[in-house]
Structure 1
Amino acid sequence: MSPGYLRSLLFTDPLIVVLTILMGTVSLVTTFFDSTGRRPHKIARKWARMLLSVSGVRVTIEGLEKIDPDGPYVFVANHRSYMDTPVVLGSVPVEFRFFAKKGLFLIPFLGTHLKRAGHLPVVRGNARESLKSMTQGAHLIRERNVSVLLFPEGGRTEGPMREFKEGAAYIAMKAGVPLLPLGIQGTRAVLPKGSGHIRAGEVLLRVGDPIPTSGMKPQDRSQLNIRLERVVAELAGQAPAASVPIPEASHPAAGHRSL
């Protein structure tokens, strides 16, 4: 057993648990006085930065100047690790809500917190429920001028990047806001799939140019989604799942992927 692992086991991991419980409790309490979700987001951002600092995870950010603080955006990132969300939370200075699998909303305390803070559940494999969640996301952007974060692969990946589901493109087009691609590198090394131990290490978060959606029609969604997938893949240093050429803007898409 290495000294670093022993230190993590005896000090870092217990400290993370304590910080998460304390700050999560404070955040949950604030939801009873703040229906906008702004205070819970600020607390979540502080928690994420503390988590990264305590764990020895150093994040380098490229292209942060491309984000307009007034937003809003549909943030889209690749998904390699549970550390992806804390990395984005601690690095992106814009208020946002994120989509998470519905199972997390069923966990006592955590589920209540997620719901009251304004985050949105996604039901995998249920097209009707997914459409409902994506529509709620678009309404959230329009009504509260707040951004949202999605991982369109539909789950963490260990190998090549999966094909993007079209939910992010759907939300951005319906809300009339830009897509903001993010590429995350290094999180799989600091927290591999199946592991509960966060390792110290370097993470790179790359911010791409906003992709406008204003004026796009429903038949443009597949083209937009393929473009988004390729941009995120390049930012993340991964090969895109889409291997078909991007169709011309004047040609309607032949079909759609699921939301």
Structure 2
Amino acid sequence: MRTFLWYFLGWLGLVLSYPILIKAKYYELRQKTEHKNHFVNQKSQMLARYLFKLTGSTVNVTGLENVPKNGAVLFVSNHQGHMDSLIIHGFIDKKKGFISIVEVLKYPIIRTWMKLIKCVFLDRENARQSSTCINQAIEHLKNGQSMVVFPEGRLSDSPEVGPFQRGWLRLATKSGVPIVPVSISNSYKALAKDGSKVGGVQVECVISAPMYTDNLKKADEVAFIDKLRTAIMQHVSAQIV
């Protein structure tokens, strides 16, 4: 019953959000960019929290003081489950888009919201398109828009933190923004990987101190990524229940 209600009330909430999308378009047509960005960020965070809480889950976020108040940052997180994006967007109050996958573009309304918050969509089967996508995200970061990346590249659907890919690091080195590590635990239990089951759980989200890539040499990139992954893993391990 909980799974049915989550899908029913979730899609109902998305459909009822349509007037908000129309208002955002109105701001865009009137060239009220700051109005639009503030409005979209506020409403999209509310929607993310609504969809997450519908699972019956709760989240405890610690380390919010580690998020720089001024300027863009690159949030780097492990990726246990589908709820991770909702948690990061809904419970960390900073304007942000996501490095997502093109497959989500098939979902109406969801894709519109994601485009509004300046997500970019990666085609993992197309190297040229992927490079264009990364460059677009770098421009967003340079223009003051924070971004979120999951360097494992896929859901782990478990407490394990998979190996981190290297290509994402260019987002930080080319834009010069700080990296903010995020550790999420237990989110994979909130919604099954295949979407077949919703379960109410306690999720832990730990935000660690920023890391910087200033003067990072190419030869040191692997060690830097390993250090970041270890920092994220330490907090995930500490919160598994």
TM range (shorter): 0.7 to 0.9
Q: Deviations along 1:72-117, whole A, 9 cap, x unmatched?
A: 2110111111111111112111111101101212444433443344
Which residue in 2 is equivalent to 1:102? 102
Instruction: Assess, with a 3 A threshold, how the Cα gap between structure 1 residues 196 and 37 changes in structure 2: closer, same or farther.
Output: farther
Report the Cα offset of residue 29 of structure 1: 4.6
Give the Cα separation in 1 of the matches to 2:22 and 2:237.
37
Which residue in 2 is equivalent to 1:43? 43
Matched AA of 1:22? L
Report the 3-state secondary structure (helix = DSSP H, G, I; strand = E; otherwise coil) of the residue aligned with 1:75: strand
Instruction: Assess, with a 3 A threshold, how the Cα gap between structure 1 residues 206 and 116 changes in structure 2: closer, same or farther.
Output: closer
Instruction: Assess, with a 3 A threshold, how the Cα gap between structure 1 residues 15 and 190 changes in structure 2: closer, same or farther.
Output: same
Give the Cα separation in 1 of the matches to 2:150 and 2:94.
17
Report the 3-state secondary structure (helix = DSSP H, G, I; strand = E; otherwise coil) of the residue aligned with 1:45: helix
Checking the alignment, whether the CA contact within 8 Å between 2:101 and 2:124 is kept in structure 1 is: yes
Instruction: Assess, with a 3 A threshold, how the Cα gap between structure 1 residues 212 and 232 changes in structure 2: closer, same or farther.
Output: same
Say how many residue pairs are matched.
Answer: 231
Which residue in 2 is equivalent to 1:20? 14
Give the Cα separation in 2 of the matches to 1:78 and 1:105.
22
Which residue in 2 is equivalent to 1:167? 167
Q: Percent identity?
A: 22
Which residue in 2 is equivalent to 1:80? 80
User: Which of 33, 56, 68 does residue 27 from structure 2 map onto?
Assistant: 33
Give the Cα separation in 2 of the matches to 1:199 and 1:67.
29
Report the Cα offset of residue 217 of structure 1: 3.4
Give the Cα separation in 1 of the matches to 2:87 and 2:172.
22
Give the Cα separation in 2 of the matches to 1:178 and 1:21.
36
Q: Is the helix fraction higher in 1 or 2?
A: 2
Instruction: Assess, with a 3 A threshold, how the Cα gap between structure 1 residues 105 and 186 changes in structure 2: closer, same or farther.
Output: same
Ranked by relative contact order (alpha carbons within 8 Å, sequence separation 6 or more), the top structure is 2
Give the Cα separation in 2 of the matches to 1:55 and 1:109.
20
Matched AA of 1:185? S
Checking the alignment, whether the CA contact within 8 Å between 2:75 and 2:180 is kept in structure 1 is: yes
Which residue in 2 is equivalent to 1:178? 178
Q: State the structure with more CA Rg.
A: 1
Q: Deviations along 1:11-42, whole A, 9 cap, x unmatched?
A: 55422221122225523651452456443222
Give the Cα separation in 2 of the matches to 1:9 and 1:157.
21
Report the Cα offset of residue 48 of structure 1: 1.4
Instruction: Assess, with a 3 A threshold, how the Cα gap between structure 1 residues 38 and 107 changes in structure 2: closer, same or farther.
Output: same
Give the Cα separation in 2 of the matches to 1:235 and 1:31.
40
Checking the alignment, whether the CA contact within 8 Å between 1:138 and 1:175 is kept in structure 2 is: yes
Instruction: Assess, with a 3 A threshold, how the Cα gap between structure 1 residues 108 and 15 changes in structure 2: closer, same or farther.
Output: closer
